[in-house]
Structure 1
Amino acid sequence: MVFKRRDRRPLWKVIADFFWPKGGWARAFTYVKHRLHRLPDPPERIARGIFAGVFTTFTPFYGMHFIVAGTLALILRGNIPAALLGTFFGNPLTYVPIGVISLQTGHAILGRHTLAEDEISRSLGGKFLDAGEDLKNNVLAIFSDHEADWHGLHLFYDEVFLPYMVGGIVPGIVTALAAYYISLPVITAYQNRRKGVLRAKWAAIKEKKAQKENASIEADGRGKGD
């Protein structure tokens, strides 16, 4: 296959690169920033796309963030590639604080007792994995003799998904608005500077072309004079 890696990475390397990409997270964020700057769309649309992507990271739809961000960007008439890049705001370094803030806020809004931070960070990923396993088993039960058991998924919805969904709205909007208002002037300035550079290059090309044409005309004139 053309796009298949020649060097197959071992499992430990794949996991390590997920938590710490090659070159570090600073390099990864720099790459995302340059990709956002070079998107061919007005700054307002790109900023709305970033809003959609950042907000999506505060939703509990893990594994579907690209779909949710793209759909939200479409609704907001934002740039869809910018929305997809904006979801990189959610990464192994930020998912735990995002989960803690969203769950704590959700339990507070729903009038429930708040959870200890270490309890959330220790069990959040495991609960999502357990819910995915239960969902898979229940789907397989439709085509087998096993009995579907929705009790675990009901508890997951009540204790994790619903509080996460409700609690992620407020901090998600606040963070996404901050990303919007920070990125808009930065992208505008970058595009204006880029346009200025392109105009300068185009003017230099035209001037060089004109100089060649003048030189050619002068050469022809001297040839006829001779």
Structure 2
Amino acid sequence: MLIFPWPPLNSHIRIVYQDSMLFRRKKPATLSGRLREFLWPRKGFSRGVRYLSMRVLRLSSSPHSIAVGVAAGAASSATPFIGFHILIALAVAYLLSGNLIAAGIATALANPLTIPVILVATYEVGVVMLGAGGRGALTGEEIVHRLSHLELAHLWEPLLKPMLIGSVPIAAASAAVFYVLAFYAAKLFQSRRQVRRSGKAQHRTAGSANGL
């Protein structure tokens, strides 16, 4: 543990160090355990979803700004641009005056469980829109194989083009749905928070009046 000449800083470091010793794992996590925790947390995904939802709802922005940010994140997550979702979401949210934090958090919709579904869905919709269903549409295994082997010369026409076209209606639908959900959720949350604050203010005022 580091020692600094300023006593208050030493006290703070000592508390943090004691807390880390108290809550650290008894046994170091193995590589397989970390991978399993990443793919399927011990306490499930519902806790993570609730946590991210509350992070979004507690943002100090208007319901419209929060909803625009969430819609931007949801729309970018419905595209095949894996690794660039957050950049796309931030750019779209910035252009539409949406909340950037909400946009970044909403990109968590694209995760190891949903990404395969998103890729296949965008491809299938794109195939239908292009009318290429009867001309050798790829299966899910073939999509994963070609993406993993990065056969760029053979990716555009049979794979990337349908996925890009198919992602447009899916991204638009995702943005619309999540905008409505986020807008009304943020509006309701802020209204209830305002009521609680007003009640506490009235209680303090009444207490002060009684004290006089």
TM-score bracket for the superposition, by shorter chain length: 0.7 to 0.9
Structure 1: runs of 5+ lacking an equivalent = 132-151, 215-226
Query: Structure 1 length normalisation: TM-score?
Result: 0.74
Q: How many residues align?
A: 189
Structure 2: runs of 5+ lacking an equivalent = 1-12, 14-19
C-alpha distance in 2, partners of 1:90/1:63?
Answer: 10
Per-residue CA deviations over 1:58-110 (Å, capped at 9, x if unaligned) read: 11111121111111111121111111111122223322222221001112223
Identical columns (%)? 26
Distance 1:98 1:18, change over 3 A: same
Show the counterpart of 1:108: 128
Show the counterpart of 2:47: 27
Q: 1:62 aligns with which of 64, 68, 82?
A: 82
CA offset at residue 19 of structure 1? 1.5
Distance 1:156 1:11, change over 3 A: farther
Per-residue CA deviations over 1:91-147 (Å, capped at 9, x if unaligned) read: 23322222221001112223323636xx21x3444433332xxxxxxxxxxxxxxxx
Show the counterpart of 1:130: 149
User: Contact between 2:70 and 2:106, CA under 8 Å: does it hold in 1?
Assistant: yes
Letter in 1 for 2:100: I
Structure 2 counterparts to residues 175-190 of structure 1, below 5 A:
175-190=174-189
Query: Structure 2 length normalisation: TM-score?
Result: 0.79
Letter in 1 for 2:119: G
- Stretches of 4+ aligned residues off by more than 6 angstroms: none
Alignment of 1:164 onto 2:163: yes
Letter in 2 for 1:71: A
CA RMSD of aligned residues (A): 2.5
C-alpha distance in 2, partners of 1:126/1:28?
Answer: 31
C-alpha distance in 2, partners of 1:57/1:124?
Answer: 18
Per-residue CA deviations over 1:188-226 (Å, capped at 9, x if unaligned) read: 0111000110111122223323333x1xxxxxxxxxxxx
Secondary structure (helix, strand or coil) at the match of 1:168 reads: helix
Show the counterpart of 1:217: none
Q: 1:93 aligns with which of 89, 96, 113?
A: 113
C-alpha distance in 2, partners of 1:129/1:198?
Answer: 53
Distance 1:105 1:206, change over 3 A: same
Alignment of 1:77 onto 2:97: yes
C-alpha distance in 2, partners of 1:129/1:210?
Answer: 71
C-alpha distance in 2, partners of 1:125/1:16?
Answer: 21
C-alpha distance in 2, partners of 1:161/1:18?
Answer: 28
